[in-house]
A and B are shown apart, each in its own frame.
Chain A
């Protein structure tokens, strides 16, 4: 039973397309996150939601829009994809806003061609 699951695992798409990545957690955690990992493995926080409410929105192009229909789901929609969006995107969740650590999904490798 996967704790934090993301779909799809791989996504190859053309520039200019719109795509979504879905994330679900079954841990009962109250906070969910999206991170972007570049080719050098550097991790950057993009968004954080606590009980469906946006609490962190880092400097991310407004082509990226998170949506949290309930506290177990956090989806990421990306409009007008660009080559520079190619990366691995990780969803994570935590209880108590991360005091005891995060649980990560296995990632979505996005390749824009």
Chain B
């Protein structure tokens, strides 16, 4: 079935470091792809999305590009801040089924 696999955490970085969180997907067609962020004690918030191949989603300095050839949607940020510490979820939605989430990657950014 449709699924996403994201890199296991936790990930610990120093402030201003470059961030990459890998995400690959399996789907029979062309799903919409998403990154959500969950700050401590809160619900998930949509961070960015891409609905077709080669689309780039971006928000708050985060970016991810929908790569059909590698079935990937890696999340990147050029310079992380302490306030970016959270759990990040990759997800896909295909054929109007329920959103399928990855296992989440915990990011901790140290000053």
Binding site for B on A (CB under 8 A): 4, 33, 40-43, 45, 48, 56, 90, 92, 96-107
Count the B residues whose beta carbon is within 8 Å of the partner chain — how many?
22
Residue B103 at the chain A interface, CB threshold 8 Å:
yes
CA distance A48 to B99 in the complex (A): 11
Number of A-B contacts (CB under 8 A): 58
With a cutoff of 8 Å between Cβ atoms, the chain A residues found around residue B98 in the complex are 33, 45, 48, 56, 98
Given A90-B43, A106-B43, does the pair A98, B99 have CB atoms closer than 8 Å? Answer: yes
Secondary structure call for the A interface: mixed
17 CB < 8 A contacts A-B: A4-B43, A41-B87, A43-B44, A43-B101, A43-B104, A45-B99, A48-B98, A56-B97, A98-B98, A98-B99, A99-B32, A99-B93, A100-B51, A102-B44, A103-B46, A107-B42, A107-B43
